[in-house]
């Protein structure tokens, strides 16, 4: 097959601008081959190179007392004591999921699981944060069905519990849904594996499933906007096989026990190209590949196709040559491919051979570590519309019903029921209650997992929105009695070449950094997804925070529910702040004004107070969207008891002031807690009690069972 001529159109089709192509010519001193152009396209796109975000990602706090490995590897690692560590990361699969929802979401799950077990960890938990367009949009319902089915189909078959996540709907996602997948695993601290190659002349080994033509150009596609030609991108979506993934994990973990592994890297975006280049770059070595040895499932594949295929369930390893036989036996036992496809070399080169001909001869460092980096112009301003004088002319219970009827705030049980959250038998707290909890098998310890972002806040004020995303993730972990350990971020934005969009990104990064610093939650891994636009319309800024907390003793878990006669106490003070609130958004179908201010010192003070008093707290719910009213309802529903709350103005029930919790306990403990709060500077006061069959917000009330039906049926009805 004759390679196509390199033209301006072909260069543009590969996502390279004129300046970048001139740099390629300068680096090579010649016109690149077609395969070389594809390799540059894969490595220099936004998805792989982070060329628009590197500058700002470096400003994030990434270290801490318990951090073993921060950003730069497949996943981050935090020490949890007793010779164990938690490995975790969140990553996007947005573009593929919009084009082919089932496979896009499924392979997103597969990719994030490989990121975890590539480092020697056995996955123990998964989450997902999903954002879709409005339900009246012609694609939304099919996207929801396909994505949820894809996540469940892959995760359930692989055998990892999905224990939390988010689901939202907004018109900004009409043409570009977001599918952010999270996974976490456990590893012994002396059995962690990294991706940096070492040693000259070491065999480079291909592991796993065969290479096909699926996903060719996927990374480049994920770094571009959508337009009316979106269907043409369908072949760039990968196809996953969870059963092969399960075999790959078991084979990989078994292989690691042999001592044969020098370094290992999963094949994700840009497939063989990215995995080989990253291993070489991190180890300051070159890589030579012979594609004749690559296991393929389609005849007559070209070098270009093999290098850019994103076929799933594949790994690349640098092998200790004296243990080749033992390593090969492991993979053959699991009926997976094992093939030596290259070697490490001393020179800064990336050589690719096929059919006895050299198809690529490139400076390796230029592909990865020295890829282009941009300092994009940005507008550092707050883009909220001026606040309107808005009043809620309704009874508090009627306002609560508005939220319970909204797919954004109604129960997500319809989603969770499609995921297996009990597989592995270590799930302690099921999805739907802020943070999911998984026992550290064989111990009395547990890990809590949560994810959060409020895109309304992030658009109105990126800095405050970034702070709040971290703060609410922190509160979610606190509310179950866990100590926050660290976080991963999945930064979803529009086109960074637009100064206002880049301003959103920079503002959110600054807010996230500030919150992580004050709350001692370092960012140890993450992903950036840009160009989330269709026909020039961007998504809301959606910097999702996935966070992990530790319970050293499960007996300290705050698991509720509230009991009959329990007292309801508000921690953190009252709030009547309604700008950017859920109730205003749902009532008026618009948002105006500033988001609520997040006082990070208050967040930490109140969070530490909850942990210090976990032994007397029966149930706890942090307050965010929907304010006090929605939080109290959820506590009431979990307890299957009514709740009566003091009479106040409607804004008091629905204000979204930050740093706040609702806690319940017997009367005998309530006074003790309030006294302790007073002595530590924490605001705490009794506002109600549990009992009866009704939700009473002052003089406004409704039957709990009636409200539960509304809450649990709203989403399924909306999706019919």
Residue 513 token pair: 């950094």
Is 490 in contact with 546 (CB distance < 8 Å)? yes
**Which residues does residue 127 pair with via DSSP β-bridges, in sequence order?**
164, 182
Contact indicator for 202, 340 with CB cutoff of 8 Å? no
Tokens of 205: 């080994």
Work out the pLDDT band at 173, boundaries 50, 70, 90.
very high
pLDDT at position 625: 96
- In the predicted model, what is the mean pLDDT of residues 409-419? 94
> How many CB atoms within 10 Å of residue 231?
7
Q: Are 619 and 562 in contact (CB under 8 A)?
A: yes
The catalytic residue positions are: 47, 93
Cβ-Cβ contacts under 8 Å for 335 (sequence gap 6 or more): 247
Say if residue 7 is exposed, middle or buried (CB neighbours under 10 Å; 0-12, 13-18, 19+).
exposed
Phi, psi of 129, deg, nearest 5: -115, 115
Residue among 218, 207, 215, 242 nearest 314 (CA): 207
Check residue 386 and give its pLDDT. Answer: 64
Average pLDDT, the chain: 93
**All residues at 6 or more sequence positions from 226 whose CB lies less than 8 Å from its CB, including other chains:** 95, 98, 175, 176, 533, 534, 535
The pLDDT of residue 381:
67
User: How many Å apart are CA 6 and CA 13, to the nearest integer?
Assistant: 11
Contact 36, 4 (CB under 8 A): no
**Residue-wise pLDDT tens digits, 41-98:** 999 988 889 999 999 999 999 999 999 999 999 999 999 999 999 999 999 999 989 9
The length of the chain is: 720
User: How many of the other CB atoms lie within 10 Å of CB of 354?
Assistant: 20
> What is the rounded distance in angstroms from the CA atom of residue 310 to the CA atom of residue 235?
11
pLDDT in the model for residue 389: 60
Average pLDDT score over residue span 134-152: 96
Instruction: Answer for the pair 315, 195: CB distance below 8 angstroms, yes or no.
Output: no
pLDDT band for position 194 (cuts 50, 70, 90):
very high
Q: Please tell me the distance from the alpha carbon of residue 310 to that of residue 247, in angstroms, as a whole number.
A: 19
What is the structure's pLDDT at 385? 62
d(CA 539, CA 121): 34
Report CA-CA distances (Å) from 207 to 324, 339, 350, 385: 13, 7, 20, 53
Q: Which residues pair with 533 in a beta bridge?
A: 538
In the numeric block, which tokens belong to residue 25?
């010519």
Note the pLDDT tens digit of each residue in 466-505.
Answer: 999 999 999 999 999 999 999 999 999 999 999 999 999 9
pLDDT of residue 47: 83
Which structure tokens are listed for 301? Answer: 């594949």
CA distance 113 to 117: 6
- Using the predicted structure, report yes or no on whether residue 282 has a pLDDT greater than 70: yes
Is the peptide bond between 685 and the residue preceding it cis, with omega within 30 degrees of 0? no
Is pLDDT of 610 > 70? yes
Q: Alpha helices of 66-100 — where are they, by DSSP H?
A: 94-99
Q: Give burial (CB, 10 Å; 0-12/13-18/19+) of 390.
A: middle
What percentage of the chain carries pLDDT values higher than 70? 96
Helix, strand or coil for residue 143? helix
| Model confidence at 591: pLDDT above 70 | yes
- Mean pLDDT, residues 388-393 taken together: 72
């Amino acid at each position: 097959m004759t390679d196509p001529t390199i033209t301006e159109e072909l260069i543009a089709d590969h996502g390279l601008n004129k300046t970048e192509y001139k740099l390629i010519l300068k680096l090579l001193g010649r016109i690149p081959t077609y395969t070389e152009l594809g390799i540059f396209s894969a490595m220099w796109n936004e998805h792989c190179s982070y060329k628009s975000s590197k500058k700002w990602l470096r400003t994030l706090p990434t270290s801490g007392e318990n951090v073993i490995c921060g950003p730069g590897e497949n996943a981050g690692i935090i020490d949890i004591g007793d010779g164990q560590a938690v490995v975790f990361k969140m990553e996007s699969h947005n573009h593929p999921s919009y084009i082919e929802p089932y496979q896009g979401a499924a392979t997103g799950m597969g990719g994030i699981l490989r990121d975890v077990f590539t480092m020697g960890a056995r996955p123990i938990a998964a989450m997902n944060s999903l954002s879709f367009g409005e339900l009246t949009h012609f694609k939304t319902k099919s996207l929801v069905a396909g994505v949820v089915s894809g996540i469940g189909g892959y995760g359930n078959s692989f055998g990892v519990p999905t224990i939390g996540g988010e689901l939202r709907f907004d018109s900004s996602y009409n043409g570009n849904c977001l599918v952010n997948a999270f996974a976490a695993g456990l590893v012994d601290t002396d059995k962690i594996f990294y991706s940096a190659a070492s040693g000259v002349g070491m065999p480079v080994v291909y592991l796993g499933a065969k290479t096909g033509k699926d996903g060719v150009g996927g990374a480049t596609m994920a770094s571009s906007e959508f337009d009316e030609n979106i269907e043409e991108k369908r072949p760039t979506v990968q196809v996953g096989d969870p059963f092969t993934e399960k075999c790959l994990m078991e084979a990989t973990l078994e292989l690691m026990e042999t001592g044969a592994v020098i370094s290992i890297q999963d094949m994700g975006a840009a497939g063989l190209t990215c995995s080989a280049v990253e291993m070489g770059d991190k180890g300051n070595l070159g890589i030579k590949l012979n594609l004749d040895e690559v296991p393929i499932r389609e005849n007559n594949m070209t070098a270009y196709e093999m290098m850019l295929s994103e076929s799933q369930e594949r790994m690349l390893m640098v092998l200790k040559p004296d243990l080749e036989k033992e390593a090969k036996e492991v993979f053959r036992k699991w009926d997976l491919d094992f093939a030596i496809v290259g070697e490490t070399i001393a020179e800064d080169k990336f050589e690719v051979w096929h059919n006895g001909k050299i198809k690529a001869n490139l400076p390796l460092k230029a592909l990865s570590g020295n890829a282009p980096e941009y300092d994009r112009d940005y507008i550092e301003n707050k883009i909220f519309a001026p606040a309107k004088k808005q009043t809620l002319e309704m009874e508090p219970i009627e306002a609560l019903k508005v939220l319970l009827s909204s797919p954004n705030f109604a129960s997500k049980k319809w989603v969770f029921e499609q995921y297996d959250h009990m597989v592995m038998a270590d799930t302690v707290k099921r999805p739907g209650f802020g943070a999911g909890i998984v026992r550290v098998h064989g111990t009395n310890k547990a890990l809590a997992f949560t994810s959060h972002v409020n895109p309304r806040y992030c658009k109105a004020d990126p800095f405050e929105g970034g702070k709040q995303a971290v703060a609410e993730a922190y509160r979610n972990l606190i509310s179950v009695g866990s100590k926050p350990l660290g976080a991963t971020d999945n930064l979803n934005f529009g086109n960074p070449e637009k100064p206002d969009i880049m301003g959103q990104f920079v503002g959110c990064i600054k807010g996230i950094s500030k919150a992580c610093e004050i709350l001692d939650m370092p960012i140890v891994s993450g992903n950036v997804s840009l160009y989330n636009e269709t026909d020039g319309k961007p998504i809301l800024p959606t910097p999702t925070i996935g966070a992990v907390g530790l319970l050293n003793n499960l007996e300290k878990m705050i698991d509720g529910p509230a009991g009959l006669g329990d007292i309801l106490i508000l921690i953190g003070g009252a709030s009547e702040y309604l700008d950017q609130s859920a109730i205003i958004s749902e009532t008026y179908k618009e948002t105006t004004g500033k988001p609520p201010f997040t006082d990070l010192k208050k967040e930490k003070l109140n969070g530490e107070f909850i942990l210090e008093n976990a032994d007397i707290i029966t149930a706890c719910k942090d307050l965010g969207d929907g304010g006090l009213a929605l939080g109290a309802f959820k506590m009431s529903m979990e307890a299957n008891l009514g709740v009566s709350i003091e009479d106040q103005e409607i804004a008091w029930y629905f204000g979204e002031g930050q740093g706040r919790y609702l806690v319940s306990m017997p009367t005998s403990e309530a006074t003790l807690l309030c006294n302790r709060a007073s002595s530590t500077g924490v605001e705490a006061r009794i506002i109600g009690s549990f009992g009866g069959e009704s939700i009473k917000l002052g003089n406004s009330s409704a039957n709990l069972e009636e409200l539960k039906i509304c809450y649990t049926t709203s989403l399924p009805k909306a999706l019919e």
